[in-house]
Amino acid sequence: QKEVEQDPGPLSVPEGAIVSLNCTYSNSAFQYFMWYRQYSRKGPELLMYTYSSGNKEDGRFTAQVDKSSKYISLFIRDSQPSDSATYLCALNNDYKLSFGAGTTVTVRA
């Protein structure tokens, strides 16, 4: 079993819809939780970064962490075609990031 599980999708939604992405993990030592966005043939770029359980909001993006369930989520409100990308969750407790497989999202205009 992988340390971090993420459904690779693909996920296709109409413009304006809410996109819901999630990861589960098995290592309770993970303390830091991140979401990266990766466009085709580009490197991952950091979207959201959280440390504790709870919600964190940044514009149209909301990250949720539930440490008791070992479950993290990313919500994208009012999705736009420019949000079409692969979204990767990343977790760590030291300098090594453990990534989910990534979910490919397409937002249809």
Q: Would you count residue 46 as binding other proteins (CB under 8 A)? A: yes
Three-class SS state of 11: strand
Q: Name the one residue in this structure whose structure tokens are 């959201």.
A: 48
Q: How far is CA 55 from CA 8, 19, 20, 39, 44, in A?
A: 23, 16, 14, 25, 22
Please, which of residues 55-94 interact with other proteins by CB under 8 A?
88, 90, 92-94
36: helix, strand or coil: strand
Least distance from other proteins to the Cβ atom of residue 12, Å: 20
With CB under 8 A as the contact rule, which of the stretches 11-19, 58-66, 77-85, 96-104 interacts with other proteins? 96-104
User: Residues in the site for other proteins, rule: CB under 8 A?
Assistant: 31-32, 34, 36, 41-46, 49, 88, 90, 92-102
